[in-house]
Structure 1
């Protein structure tokens, strides 16, 4: 650490950032805006398919980018060692604490938005034990986790349902929530974080690497979604209903049973549900297919990042301050409840354009967004 760290944001340009990463973040943020502020009713097949793309995939892209961020903060292609790695990890812990605080404050607003920040902070912490591993090892861990994680989720949730167990809302239940029962369970989303860490350890600016990401992501997409389409007859690959959950299935006494119950009350997904690729279903095929989608999106953004640096400056500026942009849209929903799940797209575009204009003006004057600066300073203070 240097002793003359600045105490306020400083003027900067986009030249010292990987623009492709900012573009990917901005698209993930836009997907969150769409999911939380629109109840758009599509008029045809194409716009119906397009309107459902952000569902679940925005959060997965966030998780993938969380892993990339951890790689950038711990040495990129040459991981730090010794005291330098120890300091970098402490800075990540400091940033995670800010995310926990911001997530708690947003939750207190009482909107129906499922706040992702607490999960994001946990993802950062989850990646710390893996920061010293090689790219090859990280790829193997992510690959095995893509199958083992969702399968463990099914077994664990089924066991909890069979035993009549539940997860409360107090701090004692925090680990179970972020790992198993929450909207973004660590047993699944940790796979995307580890995959992002592996990507961040590579030379992301090399065009050959970017093309590999696109090709590999497309293979995973076709494999995951294609198998789900064949196995389910295309009924729930791009769904508009809630996914299977054994706890809900067992406890919903007035609902017709959807899953198979064994002699001990165990609840398992039916064959069609097991092979589903529904958003938030936490199945193997959703993990593979949606993970491939996020990797492809990242590869495309990295590939075109330099070429569209100035053309898409407002979009990249929004992506350079994801914490500020995300918190801003939740606060906007709090003050203007009509923005939430609106049948009109007006509110979505107003919030999106306002965020891009604010980010563009701020980025022209300062190197970090306002909340990003707070997280950065927290990391510095915590590492001393």
Structure 2
């Protein structure tokens, strides 16, 4: 039984699985955490899981485009596929916003990013990295300064509320997240199978993360949360953490040695979650909606988080083993196929679905 396609990179799925599950902490942690539970809060790391999710998303998008072009695909057709998926994500995200889940939904922002990225899929890496850096700086400033004044001016007009949420005042400001996507997209163009590349990424990520942490801890640079420099340093630190984690997972899971096989076996449930992030994310929003609808029993404990995590790991593992691609991932794949290919897919053979599993 072939569980994963050869083109999927285990490290990316595992990293994204970690990002999804640690985001659960912010959504289901008790108000007062103490003792060992502080470790879970530390693991969630504030911005780190969300940034890791965005970086891996950029990686997946870059690998999807590269894979399509390598097989002789047309860039116009690839853009059409990405655009359809973007619209689907926006619609699903806006639908999930109507739920009383207590979660700040990211899917609509992610779909919008897909649409914005369409003209820039073939931009050279140098320009991509420079643009992403500028976007990160400008986006941080817009979020902190411009967003406040715009919110006061335009919030009375309800037709602007969603635009405000996407671009300035929301949890996932488009400019900042577009920068994260750009960094991930640039990394996807490297030869990730080479040990040299993996080691350089690990070193760069660790240095970036450590330098920022050291600067903050020793107060050698001014900047507290809520200030421009403080917020920018938090983003840079999260990027360094994401790059270092992905590189470390590439080192551990790539190759055919004993370490890679053992790591692949142990981390398989996490990889399964990362291979179907849309399904797991949507499922956890629906579960939290039902839970809060019943008065949020057990909210004072870590039981809701542990239940969500365990159910996600078990569901994803069993689904991946016996059915392959996640249900929502399969749906969005079929919707975005050309009409002729879609007709061939509708009978629903697992073998056919796996053959078109071109994206993460």
Task: Report the secondary structure of 1:75's partner residue.
Answer: helix
In structure 2, the CA distance between the partners of 1:72 and 1:339, relative to structure 1 (3 Å rule), is farther
Query: Structure 1, residues 38-74: CA drift from partner, whole Å, max 9, x if none?
Result: 1264546x86465134222211111111211210121
Task: Report the secondary structure of 1:111's partner residue.
Answer: coil
TM-score by length of 2: 0.81
Q: How does 1:250-265 map to 2 (within 5 A)?
A: none
In structure 2, the CA distance between the partners of 1:105 and 1:218, relative to structure 1 (3 Å rule), is same
| Aligned residue among 5, 10, 25 for 1:19 | 10
Are residues 1:285 and 2:276 paired?
Answer: no
Coordinate RMSD, CA, aligned: 3.0
Task: Report the secondary structure of 1:14's partner residue.
Answer: coil
Match of 1:298 in 2: 246
Task: Report the secondary structure of 1:336's partner residue.
Answer: helix
Cα contact 1:40–1:345 (8 A) shared by 2: no
In structure 2, the CA distance between the partners of 1:383 and 1:201, relative to structure 1 (3 Å rule), is farther
Cα contact 2:22–2:49 (8 A) shared by 1: yes
Q: 4+ runs of 1 displaced by more than 6 Å?
A: 80-83, 232-235
| Aligned residue among 45, 52, 55 for 1:61 | 52
Match of 1:177 in 2: 165
Are residues 1:224 and 2:212 paired?
Answer: yes
Are residues 1:97 and 2:87 paired?
Answer: yes
Task: Report the secondary structure of 1:165's partner residue.
Answer: helix
| Aligned residue among 329, 333, 347 for 1:376 | 333
Looking at structure 2, the residues matched to 341 and 220 of structure 1 have their Cα atoms a distance apart, in angstroms, of 39
Query: Structure 1, residues 151-209: CA drift from partner, whole Å, max 9, x if none?
Result: 34444235536xx4134685554444312221110121211100000011112222221
Q: How many residues align?
A: 330
Query: Structure 1, residues 304-363: CA drift from partner, whole Å, max 9, x if none?
Result: 224111222111111110011111111111112265893322222222111111111111
More helix by percentage: 2
Query: Structure 1, residues 57-101: CA drift from partner, whole Å, max 9, x if none?
Result: 21111111121121012115x957997111111111111122122
Cα contact 1:33–1:348 (8 A) shared by 2: yes
Cα contact 2:298–2:304 (8 A) shared by 1: no
Query: Structure 1, residues 95-145: CA drift from partner, whole Å, max 9, x if none?
Result: 112212221222222221111111111222232222102223322222333
Give the CA deviation at 1:220.
Answer: 1.7
Structure 1 residues without counterparts, runs of 5 or longer? 1-10, 237-242, 245-272, 277-282
In structure 2, the CA distance between the partners of 1:100 and 1:152, relative to structure 1 (3 Å rule), is closer
Looking at structure 2, the residues matched to 135 and 166 of structure 1 have their Cα atoms a distance apart, in angstroms, of 37
TM-score by length of 1: 0.77
Match of 1:142 in 2: 132
In structure 2, the CA distance between the partners of 1:375 and 1:289, relative to structure 1 (3 Å rule), is same
Match of 2:65 in 1: 74
In structure 2, the CA distance between the partners of 1:41 and 1:158, relative to structure 1 (3 Å rule), is closer
| Aligned residue among 251, 265, 275 for 1:320 | 275
Q: How does 1:116-131 map to 2 (within 5 A)?
A: 116-131=106-121
Structure 2 residues without counterparts, runs of 5 or longer? 255-259, 342-360
Task: Report the secondary structure of 1:326's partner residue.
Answer: helix
Deviation larger for 64-73 or 164-173: 164-173
